[in-house]
């Protein structure tokens, strides 16, 4: 038996072909294979076994990619964790996933040590240095990949719900491999492609969609630590593709250097993780001559739909189901309903949460996404809302219930409602609507300051609105749609 995902990731890349071009560091597929082998030997020497979870709260770096691939190679389960998570959030993730090893920045060891439970801690910083790198440097650059089947777990990615605790989506080797192979073909990736990689790599988009798809094609990446419009435009003449969130495109449009000449070498611009405004779609086409390809996915499924490579890319839609993936809307044709998905990309369920897993799947195996959509006469899907009130800000998922729980615990707060409102840069901004105790001396600054140590920065409200009461329906449920209309 082979290692189902790992072997496929390295099958197309020539050993002498560049796979990662980062500032001051260029790796060929052969270099990457040897680096991954050293890290695989290092992880094994630290006691990590097949099936163990490896938690990574590490800044974006080439070494972080090597860690991901090494975890897959030894048959373990990769657990990417946002570097913005607070100790309170990390306590839950560590307690739930029970990783055997936690890899973190050296500055975080003192914070994580008291909450690590039985996990060992080893360091890796943004420059790729630390205890893990030192250990790997002394290891062999040969390692036989541990056999893994398509049904074996490759990763656990946490995604919150509107109620209750965050849930770990279990992604298998087959889930990740099938999605990357499909996207490679659908988006026409070849060995000649060069992707500008400016996404974070602690979630599905930057880690699996971008990196896996590039490697499946034997293509290469220009690896940038974060999105910077100047830096992205500077490398466009030697690149062919960009994967981004809508924020990337609004910031590029704000840059005077975005012209037809600047984008002449590019063949494809892809957007996802949040709705792309039709205005952004039109303005980008007018400025560059390129039509952005919008697609739709989620943590539990990877990509589900995409506008076509050849054919109409329609603003406001997320396109057609991917080959091998089935999508349906639980409503009559043309009407709005809950989007449901079925295919080899759909996750294996929620980690240690069989009740929630059962609740999110139909009896016939379809996964209930919680997103609201409609399908037009040509089969194009449009996402028109989210039944779970999810907010997507800058391409990152923000779940109102989590923020409301923290708000409601503050002295002087009676109750709160968190909504997302349109934002030209972030797509949606997090807005807190708060009912305060009469006489309480609360203001916006005090509320946000109180949340800073409890929530990651991207979850913090951009504005706090104080009201006398919250609008409710006859059943007593807060009517968030009215709040969005009122303050939008």
Q: Tell me the per-residue pLDDT of 380-423, one tens digit each, with 9 for 90 and over.
A: 999 876 666 778 899 887 878 789 889 988 999 988 999 999 99
What's the predicted TM-score (pTM) here?
0.87
Give the mean pLDDT of the chain: 94
Q: In the structure, what pLDDT confidence band is assigned to residue 475 with cuts at 50, 70 and 90?
A: very low
Exposed, middle or buried: residue 46 (CB in 10 Å: 0-12, 13-18, 19+)?
middle
pLDDT digits (tens, 9 = 90+) for 263-316: 999 999 999 987 788 889 999 999 999 999 999 999 999 999 999 999 999 998
Give pLDDT, residue 46: 98
Strand partners, 22: 25, 223
Cα 276 to Cα 227, 271, 273, 291, 295: the distances in Å are: 17, 7, 9, 12, 10
Give pLDDT, residue 161: 45
Choose from 112-116, 157-161, 272-276, 394-398 the range with maximum mean pLDDT: 112-116
Give pLDDT, residue 162: 40
Strand partners, 172: 153
pLDDT digits (tens, 9 = 90+) for 204-216: 999 999 999 999 9
Q: How does DSSP classify residue 253?
A: H
Give pLDDT, residue 424: 87
Give pLDDT, residue 474: 54
Choose from 19-28, 255-264, 325-334 the range with maximum mean pLDDT: 255-264
Of the given ranges (38-42, 86-90, 308-312), which has the lowest mean pLDDT? 86-90
Average pLDDT over residues 4-22: 98
Contact yes or no for 199/205 (Cβ under 8 A) = yes
Average pLDDT over residues 323-348: 94
Average pLDDT over residues 350-372: 94
For residues 46 and 469, which has the higher predicted lDDT (pLDDT)? 46
- Cα distance between residue 450 and residue 235, in whole Å: 41
Contact yes or no for 166/308 (Cβ under 8 A) = no
Give pLDDT, residue 388: 65
**Helix and strand element counts for the chain (H, E):** 16, 24
The percentage of residues in the chain with a pLDDT greater than 90, rounded to a whole number, is 81
For residues 23 and 106, which has the higher predicted lDDT (pLDDT)? 106
- Cα distance between residue 216 and residue 436, in whole Å: 54
In 3D space, the residue among 356, 1, 336 whose CA is nearest the CA of residue 159 turns out to be 356
Q: Provide the sign of the torsion angle of the four alpha carbons 284, 285, 287, 290, taken in this order.
A: positive
Give pLDDT, residue 234: 98
pLDDT digits (tens, 9 = 90+) for 172-197: 999 999 999 999 999 999 999 999 99
The percentage of residues in the chain with a pLDDT greater than 70, rounded to a whole number, is 97
In 3D space, the residue among 225, 197, 193, 192 whose CA is nearest the CA of residue 210 turns out to be 197
């Amino acid at each position: 038996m082979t290692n189902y995902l790992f072997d496929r990731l390295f099958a197309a890349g020539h050993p002498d072909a560049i796979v990662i071009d980062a500032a001051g560091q260029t790796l060929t597929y052969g270099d990457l294979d040897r680096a991954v082998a050293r890290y695989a030997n290092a992880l094994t020497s630290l006691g990590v076994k097949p099936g163990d979870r490896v938690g990574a709260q590490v800044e974006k770096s080439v070494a972080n990619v090597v860690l991901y691939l090494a975890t897959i190679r030894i048959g373990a389960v990769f657990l990417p964790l946002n570097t913005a998570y607070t100790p309170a959030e990390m306590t839950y993730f560590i307690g739930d996933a029970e990783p055997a090893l936690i890899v973190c920045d050296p500055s975080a060891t003192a914070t994580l040590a008291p909450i690590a439970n039985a996990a060992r801690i080893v360091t890796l910083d943004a420059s790729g240095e630390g205890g893990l790198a030192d250990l790997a440097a002394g290891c062999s650059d040969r390692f036989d990949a541990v056999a893994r089947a398509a049904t074996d777990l490759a990763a656990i990615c946490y995604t919150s719900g509107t109620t209750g605790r965050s849930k770990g989506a279990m992604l298998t080797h087959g889930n990740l491999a099938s999605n990357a192979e499909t996207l490679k073909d659908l988006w026409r990736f070849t060995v000649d492609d060069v992707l500008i990689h400016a996404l974070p790599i602690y979630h599905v988009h930057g880690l699996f969609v971008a990196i896996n798809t590039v490697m499946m094609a034997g293509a290469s990446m220009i690896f940038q630590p974060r999105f910077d419009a100047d830096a992205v435009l500077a490398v466009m003449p030697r690149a062919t593709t960009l994967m981004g969130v809508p924020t990337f495109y609004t910031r590029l449009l704000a840059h005077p250097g975005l012209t037809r000449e600047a984008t002449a070498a590019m063949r494809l611009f892809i957007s996802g993780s949040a709705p792309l405004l039709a205005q952004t779609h039109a303005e980008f086409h007018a400025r560059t001559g390129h039509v952005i390809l919008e697609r739709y996915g989620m943590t539990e499924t990877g990509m589900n739909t995409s506008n076509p490579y050849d054919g109409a890319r329609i603003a406001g839609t997320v396109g057609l189901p991917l080959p091998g993936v089935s999508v349906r809307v639980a409503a009559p044709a043309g009407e709005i309903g809950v989007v449901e998905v079925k295919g080899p990309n759909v996750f294996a369920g929620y980690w240690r949460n069989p009740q929630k897993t059962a609740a999110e799947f139909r009896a016939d195996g379809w996964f209930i996404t919680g997103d609201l959509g409609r399908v037009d006469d040509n089969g194009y899907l449009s996402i028109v809302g989210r039944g779970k009130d999810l907010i997507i800000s800058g391409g990152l998922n923000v779940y109102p219930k989590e923020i409301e729980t923290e708000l409601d615990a503050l002295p002087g707060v009676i109750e709160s409602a968190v909504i997302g409102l349109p934002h030209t840069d972030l797509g949606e901004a997090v807005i807190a609507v708060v009912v305060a105790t009469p006489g309480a001396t609360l203001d916006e600054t005090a509320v946000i300051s109180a949340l800073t140590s409890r929530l990651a920065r991207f979850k913090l409200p951009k504005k706090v609105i104080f009201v006398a009461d919250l609008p409710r329906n006859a059943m007593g449920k807060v009517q968030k749609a009215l709040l969005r209309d009122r303050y939008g």
